[in-house]
Amino acid sequence: MALFLSASLFGLLSKVLAQDSFDPLEYVDPLIGASNGGNVFPGASLPYGMAKAVADTTSGSNQGGFTLDGAPVSGFSMMHDSGTGGSPSLGNFPLFAYTNCPESDINQCVFPKKTRTMFGGVRNDSIIAKPGLFGITLNSSVHVDMTAAHHTALFKFTFLTVGTDGQPAQPLILQDLTDLSSSREDNGTVSVDAETGRITGSARFTSSFSRGQYVLFFCTDFKGGDILDNGIFANSRASADVKEMTISRSINGYPLPGGAFVRFKSGAEPIIARTATSFISAAQACSHAETEIPTFDFDEVVDTATKAWRAKLSPIKVSTEGVNKSMVTNFYSGIYRTMINPQNYTGENPLWESSEPYFDSFYCIWDLFRSQLPFLTITDPTAVEQMIRSLIDTYRHVGWLPDCRMSLSKGYTQGGSNADVVLADGYIKGLRGGINWQDGYAAMVKDAEVEPFDWCCEGRGGLDSWKSLGYIPVQDFDYKGFGTMTRSISRTLEYSYNDFCIAQLSPSLSSTPEPDKEKYILSSTNWMNLYNAKQPSAWWNNTPTGFTGFFQPKYLNKTWGYQNPLNCSNQDSFTSCSLQNTGQETFESSIWEYGFFVPHDQATLISLYGGPAQFVARLNYLHDQNITYIGNEPAFLTVFQYHYAGRPSLSTLRSHFYIPRYFEPTPDGLPGNDDSGAMGSFLAFAMMGLFPNPGQNVYLITPPYFAHVNITHPVTGKTARVVNKNFDPSYQTNIYIQSATLDGQPYTKNWIDHSFFTEGKELVLTLGRNESSWGTRVEDLPPSLGKYEGFNTTYSLRRAMAAKGVKRSGGEGNGGEGVNGRYTPGFGLLQGDKVDV
């Protein structure tokens, strides 16, 4: 009996141990996206940490600091963004190290950033990159390991040779008042304490995707060697006699090099530099350093960071059985990248006094709203609550929700006021924790109602036209607010969806609830006003695509303008499609792709496109002809929109078309900028088998890429599971869902809501080699504002248009069904309706 008991106890124990021995960090490779334009930050950071330590290269693609493309290192800095395009952010106050200066003469060491790179060649096989740790050896035989606490980084310099020409090692470590994009303005300051070698200073820099500037302070201390001397450098000359300096930007195109240095008597032992930054003061930077890393214990800081990452990634556990390890690495590395940005600058905001959290590096919400923030809502809802509180607090003090925010500055808006989607998504998924939703609702309504004088960087433009005409006209007349007058089509589509999102908040949050809800539901149908049913689309050589009916620009006088529906597609490398004054009427994507951006009313869109079969043919054409580009965020949802046409199997097929072909777990494996973790979150959701339609309580179901996935909700503690029966880990057969059960009951809907995660439900998918009828009936389809009725009639469309008094482009008269634009929760799916496929 005793023997039996202990044996079974042993069995139980080893089972528990086996489960606990699953370490997600084994599958994280921070170097994914470190070349080929992924622009990922591959260095050492805590989740959402402000300190991000890495070696910075001179690559033209060094937005994330380090690149694995052969470019040499110019320094080691501790502030970064991740995955962004545009100018590089941050990278302030880099350190650089020499084993000695020739003939022990400091003036023979090379100080300026542009020239010291000749000592910055990278030994490729030396690179160590793990969550919380980055290490690299330069061809100058200096090896540098780095790790990070929240505001403080540790750099451990190891000198592998005793010095050139048999001279003794007298290591010199310099700190440069520069940043990645050489944006320093006048009056950078630096001083070095003769006795301790502590370097402090500050400088004003330019934010990367904005007109703003920010002032950053730093504090650096050293440990590990006796100080030989120290001083400052200006341009290429240095002196140990001078201990402080205020430096001009100079009249050249880049700031004059300048900073401080400390020299040590011996390089026999590693020298550790501890450097912290603060947006408040150098004293606060020093205080962060002293409290966060009091003992300079490198291994202990690595250990703390490792544990922090393990805790963040552990809520998601997948069965690795049979699956190519590269798939698991893809998955967990993608999840890891969702928690580099946004960054937690709570206590570091000099712009206003507040007890609310402050997050920065929402870079940009146009990228993040689609899957990154929805992903964190599942795995780290407490963090998203704090981010939403920060967005709302930014509205309180700056006047508007941001669309993009980095380095304390308002970034440029790309399309709509998409923070509205972030708030709606959090609200309908039950985020509450200290969020003042009244203020959140007021912020969203302000986006819809009040036009900023300068809508470069917040709110919306063209609101007079929007309200009077129901669309943003091309070549609008707007004398109240000013911004780049392009993107009239994509702005109309995004404003429409933003309005739908406003209507997702509970009526109890506003003083005049119901009329607002009705009003925003009605304006959320404005996208229809730019639909030209007669517009064909042909290739540059006039070969027809075979599809008719596209969004088109419309003038103030309600006549149509023209933009080739293929302009700004992946097949168009000629046209300017970003924020240029000559930009097109769609932002960074084509009318073809924006033609699917009606996230709230796929049913009506399907009707417009001639029914589900035509809708599917159009989606296939979009993907198969490379019109879409999976490396930019508008493509994400199009992979899964087959669900709305009753063809969930085609979403699965399309997901496998892109993963891993366009997402290899290698440094050059990402299809484009990671955009702060947006690509990583796309991978994580797609491979988990549940893709969100953000702003709605909807996840579209496809089979996970693993035999099962367990997702433990960090707040409720409940574990949701998706299980694949008949799973084929090679994905060659059995990728299609034949049937499903939810908590043991048959489940035929092709989507599920957020209670799946909070209540820890179990979804069991039975897979087979052929497409089945699972999830294909109208009652199985995800919610849509219009009705999935007939599927080959335009009844609901005519009715919605009649409600707004607009005429259909095809010349049809008003439908005359009477006003019926009412929004009904549950979306009024007709029982028994069939999908015509």
Ligand X SMILES: *[C@@H]1O[C@H](CO)[C@@H](O)[C@H](O)[C@H]1NC(C)=O
- Residue 710 in the binding site for ligand X (CB under 6 A): yes
- Residue 324 in the binding site for ligand X (CB under 6 A): yes
Start-to-end CA span in the chain (Å): 64
Chain-centre distance of CA 326, in angstroms?
Answer: 22
**Taking CB under 6 A as the rule, which mask of x and - marks residues 478-517 in contact with ligand X?**
----------------------------------------
Q: How far apart are CA 437 and CA 60, in angstroms?
A: 43
> Helices marked H in 646-708 — which ranges?
648-658, 678-688
- Residue 722 in the binding site for ligand X (CB under 6 A): no
Beta bridge partners of 244: 191
Least separation in angstroms between CB 140 and ligand X: 7
Least separation in angstroms between CB 502 and ligand X: 26
Given the structure tokens 């097929």, which residue do they identify? 653
- Rounded to 5°, the CA angle 205-211-214 comes to 30
Best CA proximity match to 439, nearest among 354, 344, 351: 354
Residue with the CB atom nearest ligand X in the bound state: 121
Q: Do the Cβ atoms of 390 and 469 come closer than 8 Å?
A: no
Contact segment (CB under 6 A) with ligand X among 65-73, 156-164, 507-515, 809-817 equals: 65-73
Least separation in angstroms between CB 519 and ligand X: 29
- Residue 326 in the binding site for ligand X (CB under 6 A): yes
- Residue 22 in the binding site for ligand X (CB under 6 A): yes
**Taking CB under 6 A as the rule, which mask of x and - marks residues 382-411 in contact with ligand X?**
-x--x-------------------------
Least separation in angstroms between CB 611 and ligand X: 6
Q: How far apart are CA 492 and CA 473, in angstroms?
A: 9
Which 8-state DSSP code applies to residue 193? -
Which residue number, 143 or 446, has a Cβ lying nearer to ligand X?
Answer: 143
Beta bridge partners of 721: 710, 762
Least separation in angstroms between CB 822 and ligand X: 26
Least separation in angstroms between CB 699 and ligand X: 19
Which residue number, 296 or 555, has a Cβ lying nearer to ligand X?
Answer: 555
- Residue 296 in the binding site for ligand X (CB under 6 A): no
- Residue 139 in the binding site for ligand X (CB under 6 A): yes
Applying the rule CB under 6 A, the residues between 609 and 638 that interact with ligand X are 625-626
- Residue 69 in the binding site for ligand X (CB under 6 A): yes
- Residue 317 in the binding site for ligand X (CB under 6 A): yes
Best CA proximity match to 372, nearest among 359, 357, 358, 362: 362
- Residue 546 in the binding site for ligand X (CB under 6 A): no
Least separation in angstroms between CB 817 and ligand X: 18
- Residue 185 in the binding site for ligand X (CB under 6 A): yes
Long-range residue pairs from 636-639, CB within 8 A, at least 24 positions apart, any chain? 636/370, 636/371, 636/678, 636/682, 636/691, 637/370, 637/596, 637/597, 637/599, 637/691, 637/693, 638/593, 638/596, 639/686, 639/691
Which residue number, 549 or 783, has a Cβ lying nearer to ligand X?
Answer: 549
Least separation in angstroms between CB 666 and ligand X: 8
Least separation in angstroms between CB 291 and ligand X: 11
- Residue 567 in the binding site for ligand X (CB under 6 A): yes
- Residue 70 in the binding site for ligand X (CB under 6 A): yes
* Interacting residue with ligand X among 62, 92, 545, 563 (CB under 6 A): 563
- Residue 712 in the binding site for ligand X (CB under 6 A): no
Which residue number, 359 or 644, has a Cβ lying nearer to ligand X?
Answer: 359
According to DSSP, the β-strands at 719-725 and 762-768 are parallel
Examine residue 257 and say whether the peptide bond preceding it is cis (omega within 30 degrees of 0): no
Q: Do the Cβ atoms of 296 and 274 come closer than 8 Å?
A: yes
Applying the rule CB under 6 A, the residues between 327 and 366 that interact with ligand X are 344, 346-347, 357
Amino acid at 19: Q
Which residue number, 256 or 450, has a Cβ lying nearer to ligand X?
Answer: 256
**Taking CB under 6 A as the rule, which mask of x and - marks residues 259-278 in contact with ligand X?**
--------------------
Q: Which residues of 406-444 are buried (b: 16+ CB within 10 A; e: fewer)?
A: bbbbbbbbbbbbbbbbbbbbbbbbebeeebbbeebbebb
* Interacting residue with ligand X among 355, 511, 543, 557 (CB under 6 A): 557
Sign of CA dihedral 241, 246, 248, 254: positive
Q: How far apart are CA 53 and CA 153, in angstroms?
A: 6
- Residue 121 in the binding site for ligand X (CB under 6 A): yes
Q: How far apart are CA 327 and CA 96, in angstroms?
A: 37
Q: How far apart are CA 607 and CA 598, in angstroms?
A: 13
Q: Do the Cβ atoms of 499 and 471 come closer than 8 Å?
A: no
Least separation in angstroms between CB 319 and ligand X: 5
Given the structure tokens 């470190």, which residue do they identify? 34
- Residue 9 in the binding site for ligand X (CB under 6 A): no
* Interacting residue with ligand X among 204, 265, 396, 749 (CB under 6 A): 204
- Residue 660 in the binding site for ligand X (CB under 6 A): yes
Binding site for ligand X (CB under 6 A): 19, 22, 48, 68-70, 72, 117-118, 120-121, 124, 139, 185-187, 204, 317-319, 324, 326, 344, 346-347, 357, 383, 386, 555, 557, 559, 563-564, 567, 572, 574-575, 625-626, 660, 710, 721, 769-770, 792, 836
